[in-house]
């Protein structure tokens, strides 16, 4: 009886600890979200790494994105993607083509406009390790998707403990693929052109681009 009691007490203690752990993680993520939502616009320069050892894949590139509300302008893998609040325009200079399509409604897709707020829904949270990165304290939160059908196994979100800005996102897929985004530069409330998120179709037609509408 005494052994059963001790097991029950231990289980209850672990349950309380895990609940407090989850609440602490959620509180930090709420701080990050509220800070992001308080900016008029955000510019992020980042490093992107896609790795799958079994498949022999290891791709690295640099990219950047300017975001204002839901609108964004991203430069990534030699292409430019623009979302004006209605349509997504993917511009590929190498092929001289532009693809115009509606915004994806897939909730599991992390678009540039959601890259700093995607964690708000659909995950459970766990307080993880604290790392010292060049004098900066980076607190990691482990996110596990609630949807068991998703291809994502887990996400580690590294947050600068002082600025409350996201520093790193490490996504691990069920197929062993690991995607890492590391923020090199994070700027806010920059002066933006009024036409930054406006697509000029005539400009690209004049330059000989092929326009694809999906």
CB atoms within 10 A of CB 169: 22
Q: What is the pTM of this model?
A: 0.83
Rounded distance between C-alpha atoms, residue 152 and residue 142, angstroms: 12
In the chain, which ranges are E strands? 42-52, 57-68, 71-76, 79-83, 87-92, 97-102, 123-133, 136-145, 152-160, 166-173, 178-188, 210-213
Mean pLDDT, all residues of the chain: 87
More confident residue, 3 or 89: 89
Query: Does 16 score more than 80 pLDDT?
Result: no
- The secondary structure element, H or E, covering residue 10 is helix 2-37
| Inter-residue contact 199 to 211 (CB < 8 Å) | no
Give the model's confidence band at 95: pLDDT under 50 very low, under 70 low, under 90 confident, else very high.
very high
More confident residue, 193 or 77: 193
Query: Does 8 score more than 80 pLDDT?
Result: no
| Tens digits of residue pLDDT in 37-66 | 999 999 999 999 999 988 888 999 999 999
| Inter-residue contact 103 to 87 (CB < 8 Å) | yes
Q: What pLDDT score was predicted for residue 93?
A: 96
Query: Does 34 score more than 50 pLDDT?
Result: yes
Domains and CATH numbers, the chain: 1-70+108-192 (2.50.20.10)
Tell me the three state secondary structure of residue 136: strand
| Lowest-confidence pick of 27-41, 97-111, 113-127 | 97-111
| Tens digits of residue pLDDT in 128-184 | 999 999 999 999 999 999 998 889 999 999 999 999 999 999 999 999 899 999 999
């Amino acid at each position: 009886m005494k052994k059963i009691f001790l097991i029950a007490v231990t289980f209850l203690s672990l349950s309380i600890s895990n609940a407090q752990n989850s609440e602490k993680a959620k509180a930090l993520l709420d701080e990050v979200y509220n800070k992001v939502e308080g900016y008029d616009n955000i510019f992020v320069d980042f490093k992107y790494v896609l790795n799958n050892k079994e498949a022999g894949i290891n791709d690295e590139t640099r990219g950047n994105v300017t975001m204002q509300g839901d609108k964004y302008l991203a430069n990534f893998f030699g292409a430019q993607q623009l979302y004006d609040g209605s349509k997504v325009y993917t511009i590929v200079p190498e092929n001289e083509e532009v693809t115009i399509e509606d915004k994806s409604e897939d909730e599991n897709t992390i678009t540039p406009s959601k890259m700093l707020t995607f964690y708000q829904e659909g995950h459970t949270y766990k307080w993880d390790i604290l790392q010292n990165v060049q004098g900066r304290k980076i607190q990691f939160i482990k996110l596990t998707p609630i949807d068991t059908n998703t291809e994502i196994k887990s996400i580690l979100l590294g947050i600068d403990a002082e600025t409350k800005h996201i520093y790193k996102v490490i996504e691990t897929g069920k197929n062993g693929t690991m995607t890492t985004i590391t923020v090199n530069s994070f700027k806010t409330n920059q002066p933006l052109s009024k036409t930054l998120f406006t697509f000029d179709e005539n400009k690209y037609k004049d330059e000989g681009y092929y326009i694809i509408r999906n």
